[in-house]
Structure 1
Amino acid sequence: MKTRTTLFLSAALAGVIGLSCSKDSGFWDSFIPETDEEPTSAQINGYIFRPALVPVTPERIQQMKVPAGFKVQAFAQELGKPRILAVSSQGHVYFSDRDAGVVMLLQDTNNDGVAERKQTVATIKQAHGLAIHNSKLYIASVQDLYVADMNSDGTLGQPKLIKSGLPDGGQHPNRTLAFGPDGQMYYSIGSTCNSCPEPNALNATMVRMNPDGSNMKIYAKGLRNTIGFGWHPETKEFWGLDHGIDWLGDDDQKEEVNLIKENANYGWPYIYGEGKYNPGDRPPGDTTYQQYLQLSTQPSLTYQAHAAPMQMAFYTGSQFPSDYQGDAFVAMRGSWNRSKPVGYSIVRLHFENGKPVRFEDFLTGFLVDNNRSHIGRPVGVAVHADGSLLVSDDTNGVIYRISRQ
C-alpha cells in the first residue's frame, strides 16, 4: 500500500519551514537567501512506498534478467540477512549479517556454482564492513574495528580489536572499509542524520588509517553515506557512491559518483548534486551558500534519486568479456522515499579512459507484481575467484551468482 506524505512548510527569519526541490536554478536564487536576514519558503511532495516482500522461488529466480550470454542462479539460500561480501583468492566467500552479529563463510567445494559449505567464523555485535588484506580479514562494527588471521581452510583466528570509540551510528551505522593501492585502510563513517550539521567532525567522512588502526585522519568530508567505494584497477583513482538526502522530492537528491580526493569537501549537508543549495541547512557563521559551493567538489556522475547505492566492486576477473575490465558493479538496494520504486538492481558503471560515463542495468527482476512487491534488496557485490559475480540480498537471505553461460 502506498502512503503519500505531503510536506508543506514555511519559514521564518532564522528557520527553515520546509524542504524543496526544483530543477529551475532561478527558484533557488529567489527562495533560498544567502543570510538569515530574509525568510526561506519551500514546498515539496514527499512519498513513502515500500514494496511488499514476497518469497523467492525458483520461478522468480528464472524471471530475473541479465545481459545475453549470462545466467543467474542461487549460490546460497536461507542465510539470514547477508550484507557485505568479501572473497579470498582461494574462493572462500565471507559475508556479514549485521542483525545476527556474525561473519559467515561459504564455499563451493565441487565447483558447481552452489555453495555446499556454510560456517560461522566470527561473532561480533553489528558486524558489517569486511575487507581482506595480507591474509587477514578486517571486520567493522559500528564503533569498533577488528582483524583476524585467515586460515588455509577459510576459518578465522580469534578476532582482535584494533580500534574502538568510533562515532555512534545514528541513521547510518553501516561502516565499510577497503585497502587502497597505498596499503592504507580507508573507512567510511556515515552521517548520523538525513541532513544536519554534525557535532562530531568524524561523521560524514572518509577516514584513512594504518592497517593496525593507528594514525587515523579525515581523508575527505561532506560525504553523507559512502558505503560503496574502490580504486580503478588501471588509474588507481579512488571512486565512491554517496547516498543523497531524503525528503527533497522524487528526483532529488540524486545519488552521486564522486572522485574522492584527499582534503576534498563534497558539500553535505549544505550543497548537493550539481551545486544545488539545501534549503534545510544553511552554512554556519557568515559563510554564504555561494562561498560553500566554491569549497565543494561536485559529483562526476549521478544516478536516480533514492536508489540507495551499496557495495561497489570493480571487475577484475577473467570470466566476463574483456570490455567489462575496468568497469564497476554497484548494488542498488532500492528506494522507500519515492512514489515509484527505483533501484532494486545491480548496475554496471561504465568507465571510459578511467572516468565514469554511464550506468547500465546488469541484474534486474527483484521487483515483481508490477513493482508492488520485491523478492530481494541487493546489498553486497563481489567478484568471485572464478570470475563470476556474487550478489547478496538481506531480505530473503539469498546470495546470487552471475556467470557466463
Structure 2
Amino acid sequence: MKTWVKSTMLVAALAGVVVGCKDSDFWDSFIPETNDDPTSSQIAGYVFKPALAPASDENVRQLRVPAGFQVNKFAEQLGKPRILAVSSAGHVYFSDRDAGTVTLLQDTNADGVSDSKRVVATIEQAHGLAIHDNQLYIVSVKELYRATINGDGSLGQPQMLLDDLPDGGQHPNRTLAFGPDNKMYLSIGSTCNSCPEPNPEHATMLQANPDGSNRRVFAKGLRNTVGFGWHPQTNEFWGMDHGIDWLGDNEQKEELNKILQNADYGWPYIYDDGRYNPSNRPPGDTTYQQYLQKTTLPSLGYQAHAAPMQMVFYQGTRFPSDYQNDAFVAMRGSWNRSTPVGYKVVRVHFENGQPTRFEDFLTGFLVNNNRAHFARLVGVAVHADGSLLVSDDTNGVIYRISHP
C-alpha cells in the first residue's frame, strides 16, 4: 500500500474560525472568513485499492444478508454492468458504459436466474437508465435518448432528445429518473474533486419535460448525486451525494440530502454539518458564514469515501413489511482512505417519511482481511418478483437477494 500525504495548503494566518473535532483528520485547521488572513490546513490522504478476487462460489457463499434472506447470482459474465432498470413485465436492463451497450436479461422460467441475454441498444458511453411510459430512457455523457419497449423487451430505434449536456470531466456518469410530477430529473456531476464550476449545470440536479424540453437547474451544490428517488408515501425527493476526496480518511461524509427546488447544497465550499472546505473559498466578498447561511445541510451522513451509487425505494411484495418504503443504496467502495469502506448494499430506514439511520444489508465482498474484494457495486433495482438486484462491474455479475 502506498501512503500519499497531501501537501500542506497555505492559501492565505492563523486567525479565524477553527474547524475540526476529535474525529477530524485535520491536525489543526485555521480557516478565516475572508482572505484578509491566511488559511492553514494539513491533511493526510491515502490511496488503498483492495486487490481483485474472483466471484467464486466459495466467495459468494460467504456473503451476508439478514436472517431469512438469501443471495444468488442472477447473471454473470456480463462485462461491466452498471445501472439497472426493471420493467413491470420483469425485463431487466443494464448499461455497460465501456462497451457502449444496453443489455436485456430475462428469467423466463422464474427460477431466480437469468436464462436470456441480448444487447438491445448500442450507444457510446451509455450509463443512466430509466423507464417511463413504456419507454426506456438512456443517458450518456452528453446525449439523452429514449426508445419504445416492445412486448418482448426489445427496443425500438432510440430517438435522441438532447445532445448538449455538459462535458463529463471527473464525473461523467449521468443518471436520470422520473418524479411523481412526471418531470425528468438528470444528475450532472462535477468536473473535478473540488473547484468552482464555470458551467452552471455542473454539480447539479437538472429538471426537464419527458421530451427533454424546458431544461433547468433544479438544485445545485451537489458534487455527484448518482443515486436518487422519491419516497413512495411523501413524494419527497432524496439523493445520495459523493463527498469530496483528499480531506482525510473520515471526511467528507457521503450525504443523504432532501433535494429541494432551488436549494444549494454547499459544494465545493461547505460540507457535512457546516464545515468549511479549506481549498475553496466562496466567490467574491462572500464569507464562509454567509455561504453557510444559504446552504441546505444533509439529513444524514455515511462513512466518507464509501461511494454511494444507485438508490431505490423498496415497494416489492417479497420482503418483510417493515422494509416497505425504505431505501437501498449500493456502496461502490473506497479508494481514498487507509482502510476500505463500502463494498456493500445498505438499507436506509425511514420513519414517518424521514430517514433515521443506515444499516448493512448485503456485505462480505471484502475478503482476505479486507485486502481484496470481489465486487464494486453500482446498480440496485427491485425486480418485478420482489427480489433485489445488484450489479458489480468488476467481475461482471448481477446478484439477486430474495426472501421466501
Please, what TM-score do these two structures have when normalized by structure 1? 0.96
Task: Write out aligned runs for 1:67-106 (5 A).
Answer: 67-106=66-105
What is the match of residue 17 of structure 1?
A: none
- Alpha carbons of structure 1 residues 21 and 386: separation in structure 2 relative to 1, 3 Å: farther
Deviations 1:332-385 (A, max 9, x none): 000000101000000000000100000110000110111000000110000000
State the secondary structure of the residue aligned to 1:395. coil
What is the match of residue 159 of structure 2?
A: 160
State the secondary structure of the residue aligned to 2:46. strand
TM-superposed deviation, 1:164: 1.0
**Contact kept in structure 2, 1:219 and 1:263, CA below 8 Å:** yes
Distance 2:111 2:19 in 1: 50
What is the match of residue 109 of structure 2?
A: 110
What is the match of residue 262 of structure 1?
A: 261
What is the match of residue 11 of structure 1?
A: 10
What is the match of residue 150 of structure 1?
A: 149
Deviations 1:227-257 (A, max 9, x none): 0000000000000000000000000000000
Deviations 1:125-164 (A, max 9, x none): 0000000000000000000000000000000001010011
Task: Write out aligned runs for 1:168-207 (5 A).
Answer: 168-207=167-206
- Alpha carbons of structure 1 residues 21 and 98: separation in structure 2 relative to 1, 3 Å: farther
**Contact kept in structure 1, 2:28 and 2:42, CA below 8 Å:** no
Distance 2:143 2:20 in 1: 40
State the secondary structure of the residue aligned to 1:313. strand
What is the match of residue 338 of structure 1?
A: 337
What is the match of residue 298 of structure 1?
A: 297
Letter in 2 for 1:99: D
What is the match of residue 23 of structure 1?
A: 21
What is the match of residue 281 of structure 1?
A: 280
Distance 2:23 2:392 in 1: 39
**Contact kept in structure 2, 1:243 and 1:306, CA below 8 Å:** yes
What is the match of residue 213 of structure 1?
A: 212
**Contact kept in structure 2, 1:228 and 1:312, CA below 8 Å:** yes
What is the match of residue 131 of structure 2?
A: 132
TM-superposed deviation, 1:36: 1.2
Distance 2:22 2:48 in 1: 26
**Contact kept in structure 2, 1:106 and 1:118, CA below 8 Å:** yes
State the secondary structure of the residue aligned to 1:399. strand
What is the match of residue 402 of structure 2?
A: 403
More deviation, 78-87/53-62: 53-62
**Contact kept in structure 1, 2:19 and 2:31, CA below 8 Å:** no
Distance 2:166 2:9 in 1: 33
- Alpha carbons of structure 1 residues 183 and 359: separation in structure 2 relative to 1, 3 Å: same
TM-superposed deviation, 1:23: 2.4
**Contact kept in structure 2, 1:21 and 1:249, CA below 8 Å:** no
Distance 1:251 1:296 in 2: 21
TM-superposed deviation, 1:195: 0.1
Distance 1:115 1:241 in 2: 29
**Contact kept in structure 2, 1:21 and 1:252, CA below 8 Å:** no
TM-superposed deviation, 1:25: 11
State the secondary structure of the residue aligned to 2:176. strand
TM-superposed deviation, 1:8: 3.2
**Contact kept in structure 2, 1:171 and 1:192, CA below 8 Å:** yes
State the secondary structure of the residue aligned to 1:285. coil
Gaps of 5+ in 1: 15-19
Distance 1:217 1:8 in 2: 38
1:253 and 2:256 aligned = no
- Alpha carbons of structure 1 residues 8 and 21: separation in structure 2 relative to 1, 3 Å: farther
State the secondary structure of the residue aligned to 1:4. coil
- Alpha carbons of structure 1 residues 119 and 29: separation in structure 2 relative to 1, 3 Å: same
Distance 1:6 1:142 in 2: 32
- Alpha carbons of structure 1 residues 337 and 21: separation in structure 2 relative to 1, 3 Å: farther
**Contact kept in structure 1, 2:29 and 2:41, CA below 8 Å:** no
Task: Write out aligned runs for 1:287-326 (5 A).
Answer: 287-326=286-325
Aligned residues: 399
Distance 1:329 1:25 in 2: 27
- Alpha carbons of structure 1 residues 303 and 362: separation in structure 2 relative to 1, 3 Å: same
Gaps of 5+ in 2: none
State the secondary structure of the residue aligned to 1:212. coil
Please, what TM-score do these two structures have when normalized by structure 2? 0.97
CA RMSD of aligned residues (A): 1.6
Letter in 1 for 2:291: Y
1:63 and 2:96 aligned = no
Distance 1:171 1:340 in 2: 23
Distance 2:369 2:384 in 1: 36
- Alpha carbons of structure 1 residues 161 and 332: separation in structure 2 relative to 1, 3 Å: same
